[in-house]
Amino acid sequence: MTHSHKIKIALSALPKNDWWGSGIVAYQDNDMMVDGAMPNQPVLEHEYRKLVSLIERLGLETVIVPFSNILEQEGKFDFIFMRDHFLCNRNKKIVMCNMRLKERLHEGRFVIETMKKLGYTISYLPTQDCLAEGGEFFYLSKENILLSGLCRNNLKGAESMAELMGVEQLHIIESNGYHLDTAICPIFNSKYDCIGINCAREVFDAKNYNTLKELCKKYGWELLDIENQDRKESLEARSAMNCLTLPGLLVGTSPIKNKNVIDFTNQNDIHMHVSNVSQFNLSGGSVHCLTNELL
């Protein structure tokens, strides 16, 4: 399938040295990171090239942001998760994020030069206490809606992001996923209408699940539960669900095996592709984390 909606996908270049070559340092609030894991560098480089190649074969343009020498020296290797640094609306406006974790402060400034060269305008959250990380958001451009988690975001950050993005509605979706993209995944048809939401049921309590269910009912989105109480199976399923999601397209690190999701995507002509990013999964990130849409 060649993608008809011309969207640029921003990715980070790999660092010059081995990515987490001395071992991954896990963050306490990220249940998907493997502390001390040593990524296999040849496999990682192969996976990276395959992901970039697939994105380009799908008719999308890739924008590769250089990996800063400063970040390498500071050991801030998770810069590679391009999703976290900014959001972009359809008016070529980028809003920079403010990271909650001190280990990742100021990473985003290294994308700004590249984005300005491409003609994007840059905006900033009004104060440093507005906490907002890109993996905590889904921007539904057709509906002009912003979905936000509240794990690494705070309400002030989410509201400020919504205002700067110029959206009509902000909806807060609370879960125990450390980022919203480890809890849900919107599904878009070929016209970029949101038609469904994949949901990792196990990271929601009853109250917040009902809130999500009512939201889907309000907008006519199909709510597709994927529930795994076994921890290993849950982490694998949530990593697979953490997809690059675009019009008529899902790209994930492994197949989504849930029958309801498979049936729904087949019925709605949603093409699912796999590009394994196992070595990046070790640091808690998946395909959605590695990519960021420039609309």
Give the pLDDT of residue 103: 84
User: Taking a C-beta distance cutoff of 8 angstroms, is the pair 15, 41 a contact?
Assistant: no
Domain boundaries, the chain: 8-294
How remote is the C-alpha of 139 from its chain's centroid?
A: 11
Two structure tokens written together for 99: 């990271």
Note down pLDDT in tens along the chain; length 295 residues.
444 447 999 999 999 999 999 999 888 878 888 999 999 999 999 999 999 999 999 999 999 999 999 999 999 999 999 999 999 999 999 999 999 988 898 999 999 999 999 999 999 999 999 999 999 999 999 999 999 999 999 999 999 999 999 999 999 999 998 899 999 999 999 999 999 999 999 999 999 999 999 999 999 999 999 999 999 999 999 999 999 999 999 999 999 999 999 999 999 999 999 999 999 999 999 999 999 999 9
Give the pLDDT of residue 4: 41
Instruction: Look up the CATH number of domain 8-294.
Output: 3.75.10.10
Give the pLDDT of residue 101: 86
Give the pLDDT of residue 207: 97
